[in-house]
Amino acid sequence: MSETVTAEELKALQAPLKSRYRENAEAGVVTFRAEGRLEEGIACKVDTGRALVEAGLHPAAGGLGDQACSGDMLLEALAACTGVTLRAVATAIAFELRGGRVVVEGDLDFRGTLGVDKEAPVGFRDLRLTFDLETDEPQERIDQLLKLTERFCVVLQTIRQAPEVKTALALRETASA
C-alpha cells in the first residue's frame, strides 16, 4: 500500500518539476514505451513488472517511480491487444509467423498534465506502433496481416475513434468514530 500524501507534500514534490518545465518545455516531454512478445499460440506477453498493479504518479509528475503509471499501462494494453489480435489474424489467415515484437511508444508533455502551460496538451500527443515480425511471407501477405490487425484491435480502434466518455461521481458517507 502507498502512503497517504497531503496536498502540501504533493505541491512540494511537483513544484521543482513545474519550475523545470516552465524553463524548458522539452523537459516535460517523456516518451513512454511498452513491448509485447509474440510467442506461441494466440497470445502476447507484456511485462508489467507486477502481478498486482498499484498505479501512481509518474516521476515526471512527482511520483517516486515505485508504482505503475497509467500511461505505461495504456501503452501496455495497446501492445497486448495488437499482439493478441495480430496472432489471431495470423492464425485465421494461415500466416506463417515464427515470432516477433510489438513496440509501442508515446510522447506525453507533463506541462499539460501539471497545468504548467495551458497550451500544452493533456495526454499523449503522439503514439507509435511498430511490428517487428519474424516471417518469410511475401509483402502482400504482411500488408494484409497488418491491415486486419489494425482493423480488429479493440484498443487501437478505441484510441483512434475515441468514444464519448461520461463521468459520474458517487459520494460515500464516512463512518464517524
Q: What percent of the chain has pLDDT over 90?
A: 59
46 inside domain: yes
Domain count, the chain: 1
The overall average pLDDT reported for the chain is 87
pLDDT digits (tens, 9 = 90+) for 35-89: 777 776 666 677 766 555 677 889 998 888 887 788 988 999 999 999 999 999 9
9 inside domain: no
Q: What is the CATH number of the domain that holds 92?
A: 3.30.300.20
Under the banding of pLDDT at 50, 70 and 90, the label for residue 106 is very high
Model's pTM, two decimal places?
Answer: 0.81
36 inside domain: yes
The residue range of the domain holding 86 is 31-160
Cell matching residue 86: 495480430
Q: Taking Cα atoms as reference points, which of 62, 67, 78 lies closest to residue 30?
A: 62
90 inside domain: yes
Cα(89)–Cα(95) distance, integer angstroms: 8
Cα(114)–Cα(15) distance, integer angstroms: 10
Looking at residue 21, what is its pLDDT?
93
Looking at residue 44, what is its pLDDT?
65
